[in-house]
Each structure stands twice: as structure tokens, then as C-alpha cells.
């Protein structure tokens, strides 16, 4: 329960802090200009985002910042529509690379890890269920998990389907955060139709979404402990 409360407090702090930063005229002008440039680039901007996202995933760079950027640039609906398929393709490519070209290197890195052995055993018993739980609960970082799962016994189609389902909550949260920052920046620049009331409602929506994601992650972690996949997480 203590960790759950801490997670919720952090989510609220990030939401409020992001809005306050984005409402600074100088910051708002800079990030709004960057977003306008990306939107103006049209298909080239979208392709560029996809390429950068795929590369970041393959080289183990955090992609949460890119997900937030998609929300800021394209809004909640289009941001989710862009990030979800991009994330699925990126995770699938990393899985393929891990299962073929980089398999030996990954086995050397993770093969002796106690957490990996527990995950491998759990995946063999309940593949899709455990993969989805791992995506929901950060036992391993998102991008590293692509490679970790590539050397388990999970089938490729099971991995793709379960990963797509498991990454939804966090993706929606990050895109929402980006779209909220965009709204705050627009308000700071004097944009029409962005009232304080609407901004407050959007922040409340973000906090509610964050709470749901934190609760889901907590439940997923608990379920992973039951399956044995998180049994060695602290060792």
C-alpha cells in the first residue's frame, strides 16, 4: 500500500509540475514551435518519429520521452494511433534480433540472471498471461524486456499479441501527459478555447489515468509473484 501511495503522489507531482513548466511563456514558445514544425512536416515528420522510435528501442534507449512527445505533437487520439503500432513494430523487431542475430550475446547477459530464470519458467507455463503482466509491471525495463523475452520459449505471435495488450495503459498515460503539456503551452501563449477550467479537468483526467496505471502495475506485480516470474526480483 505504501508503494501504491508513493506512486500516486509521484504521478500527481509529475502532472502538476509538467503543467507549470509548460505554462512558462519561454518554455511554451519553444516546445510549441517544435511541435508545430513536426506537424507541418506531415508524413516526413511521422516517418522520422517512427524511425527514431525503432532505433531507440533497438539500442535500449528509453522511449517514454518519445511517447510523451507524440502526445504533445499530435494530441491524445492521433498520438496513441501513432505510438501503439510503432511500439509493436519496434518490440517485434527487437524480439526478432534477439532471437536471431543477438541471441548469444543476450544469453550471456541474462541467461544466468535469477529473474530471467524465473521469468523463463513462468513464460513456459503461461506464456501470453505472463508476457502481458511483465509489460504492465516493470520487473524489467520496457526496451530490455524485448530482448529478455526473445530468449524464452514464448512463441512470436504470443509475444506480439500479449505485448500489444500489456503496453496499452502506460502508453495512454504518457501520450496523455504529452497532450496535456501541449494544452498548457497553448494556454500560456494565449490560445483560444483553453480555459483554466478545461486545463484543470485535463489534469484531473491525467491524475485519474495515472492512478489506474499505478494500480494495474501493482496488481500485475502481485500476480507475477504468484506465478514465480518476480520471485527473484530483489535478489
pLDDT tens figures, 104-136: 998 888 777 777 778 888 888 878 888 888 888
Where are the domains positioned within the chain? 2-227
% pLDDT > 90, the chain: 23
The Cβ of residue 223 has, within 10 Å, a number of other Cβ atoms equal to: 17
pLDDT digits (tens, 9 = 90+) for 138-185: 666 788 889 989 998 889 999 999 999 999 988 988 898 888 877 766
Residues 95, 149: Cα–Cα separation, whole Å: 7
Averaged pLDDT for residues 183-197: 59
Residues 84, 53: Cα–Cα separation, whole Å: 11
Range with lowest mean pLDDT among 55-59, 77-81, 97-101, 112-116: 112-116
- According to DSSP, residue 153 is labeled S
User: Radius of gyration over alpha carbons of the chain, in Å?
Assistant: 19
Q: Is the pTM here over 0.85, yes or no?
A: no
Q: Which of 189, 216, 183, 215 shows the shortest CA–CA distance to 201?
A: 183
Using alpha carbons only, what angle is made at residue 121 by residues 120 and 123, rounded to the nearest 5 degrees? 65
Residues 102, 162: Cα–Cα separation, whole Å: 22
Number of residues that this document lists for the chain: 235
Greatest Cα pair distance in the chain: 57
CB 146 within 8 A of CB 57: yes
3-state secondary structure of 155: coil
Amino acid at each position: 500500500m505504501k508503494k501504491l501511495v508513493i506512486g500516486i503522489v509521484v504521478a500527481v507531482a509529475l502532472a502538476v509540475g509538467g503543467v507549470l513548466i509548460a505554462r512558462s511563456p519561454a518554455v511554451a514558445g519553444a516546445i510549441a514551435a517544435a511541435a508545430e514544425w513536426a506537424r507541418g512536416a506531415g508524413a516526413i515528420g511521422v516517418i522520422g518519429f517512427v524511425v527514431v522510435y525503432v532505433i531507440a528501442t533497438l539500442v535500449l534507449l528509453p522511449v517514454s520521452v518519445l511517447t510523451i512527445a507524440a502526445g504533445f505533437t499530435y494530441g491524445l487520439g492521433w498520438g496513441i494511433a501513432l505510438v501503439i503500432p510503432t511500439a509493436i513494430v519496434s518490440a517485434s523487431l527487437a524480439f526478432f534480433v534477439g532471437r536471431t542475430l543477438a541471441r548469444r550475446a543476450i544469453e550471456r547477459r541474462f541467461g544466468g540472471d535469477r529473474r530471467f530464470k524465473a521469468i523463463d519458467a513462468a513464460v513456459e507455463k503461461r506464456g501470453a498471461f505472463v508476457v502481458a503482466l511483465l509489460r504492465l509491471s516493470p520487473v524489467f525495463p520496457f526496451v530490455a524486456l524485448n530482448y529478455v523475452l526473445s530468449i524464452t520459449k514464448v512463441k512470436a505471435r504470443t509475444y506480439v499479441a500479449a505485448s500489444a495488450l500489456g503496453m496499452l495503459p502506460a502508453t495512454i498515460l504518457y501520450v496523455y501527459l504529452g497532450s496535456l503539456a501541449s494544452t498548457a503551452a497553448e494556454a500560456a501563449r494565449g490560445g483560444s478555447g483553453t480555459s483554466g477550467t478545461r486545463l484543470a479537468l485535463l489534469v484531473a483526467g491525467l491524475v485519474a489515468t495515472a492512478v489506474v496505471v499505478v494500480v494495474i502495475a501493482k496488481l500485475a506485480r502481485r500476480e507475477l509473484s504468484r506465478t514465480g516470474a518476480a520471485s527473484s526480483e530483489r535478489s
